[in-house]
Structure 1
Amino acid sequence: MEEWKVWPQAGLEQTKLSGGELDSFFRKIYTRHQGKTITFLCIGTDRSTGDALGPLVGTKLEERGMTAVVGTLREPCDAGNLKERLAAIPPENIVVAIDACLGAPGSVGYYLVSEQPLQPAQSVGRSLPAVGHYSVAAVVNVKGPKPYWTLQMTSLYKVMQMADEIAAAASASVGE
């Protein structure tokens, strides 16, 4: 596994994983926090192909029977409601933040995982609070000069594939 710092100004160290390596990340979280509620905070909107990753993951987790999920296609958790959705999560819960991001060409299709909070909307220049005890940033496309346009033009197939991988790894690790 390759160490890769995406947000060095925030001091967030992340590890770049393939979809097949995600299960070990989630297994570590479940093992470390046995008996505690793990809430999945799935950030994004259903109004942008690239940014729909979070709500897609949340919906897929609910379909797999997981109940501690914030952010689905029906009720997205986005920049407009993030603070109030965070306030509704019990403070004793362990939060895994999941969001799409833009990155280097060689990182598209990979996941940047961390045992630290996620800084949502940074790739599009927004300033939102850091969220989560753990984070998964899915690199859905290449970072460029027009991030909103890039997210709009991101492959729905790629986003769906990545959402499936995250949901499968997170739900499979629950019982282990």
Structure 2
Amino acid sequence: MQEPKEWPAAGLNRRRLSGGELEAFFAGIRTRHIHDVVTFLCIGTDRSTGDALGPLVGTKLTELGFGQVIGTLREPCDATNLEQRMAEIPEGRVIIAIDACLGMSDSVGYYLVSGQPLQPAQSVGASLPEVGHYSIAAVVNVKGPKPYWTLQMTSLYKVMQMADEIAGAAASAFG
């Protein structure tokens, strides 16, 4: 994916943010792009607690009135249909990719944000195409030897709390 020409080289590296810092990340995107060109690509499945973060965020964004959202609880965007769902996005859209991930214990509950594409399913060793111009990877649990099991056993409360933080920050920044 080509990055828009107006993106500065600085600030594109991955940063770890708390939920309270997400609004500033979204506000930075808003200053570079009008709301009408932004598409939220919320990746995950409703069949795994930890991996439901993306569809939960997508559903919340839709309920908040965001029109350009791909990946909800009703119509998830997951490993089986990611490329097909990406093809639905019109040319010229700025994509903010959102997905759950596993990480170090001191990063659980934080967000890895970037002005670069996201590599979906990296935590579980799958190979999917990079997506997004901007990305948010929510660290929902600790990475271990059995990533699918870990995602399945992730706290629903934690996932819902993080989905609320992402959707709330987006609504505040773009509202």
TM-score by length of structure 1 reads 0.91
CA contact (8 A) 2:18 2:109 kept: yes
1:155 aligned residue: 155
Alignment gaps of 5+ in structure 2: 1-11
Offset of residue 125 of structure 1: 0.6
CA contact (8 A) 2:35 2:174 kept: no
Q: Distance in 2 between matches of 1:36 and 1:75?
A: 22
Structure whose residues are more often strand by fraction: 1
1:164 and 2:141 are equivalent in the alignment:
no
Q: Distance in 1 between matches of 2:153 and 2:174?
A: 34
SS at match of 1:61: helix
Q: Distance in 1 between matches of 2:54 and 2:19?
A: 15
SS at match of 2:13: strand
2:24 aligned residue: 24
2:110 aligned residue: 110
Offset of residue 99 of structure 1: 0.1
TM-score by length of structure 2 reads 0.92
1:146 aligned residue: 146
2:9 aligned residue: none
1:4 aligned residue: none
Q: Distance in 1 between matches of 2:95 and 2:24?
A: 17
User: Quick check: 28-37 or 114-123, which moved more?
Assistant: 28-37
The alignment's C-alpha RMSD in Å is: 1.0
Label 1:138 to 1:35 Cα distance change in 2 as closer, same or farther (>3 A): closer
Q: Distance in 2 between matches of 1:172 and 1:61?
A: 11
Q: What residue identity is the alignment partner of 2:105?
A: P
Q: Distance in 1 between matches of 2:34 and 2:154?
A: 37
Alignment gaps of 5+ in structure 1: 1-11
Matches within 5 A, 1:90-109: 90-109=90-109
SS at match of 1:151: helix
1:52 aligned residue: 52
1:86-137 Cα deviation digits (max 9, x unpaired): 0110120000000000000000000000000000001101000000000000
* Equivalent pairs, count: 164
CA contact (8 A) 1:36 1:94 kept: no
Q: Distance in 2 between matches of 1:145 and 1:91?
A: 39
1:126 and 2:126 are equivalent in the alignment:
yes
1:15-41 Cα deviation digits (max 9, x unpaired): 000000000000000110126410000
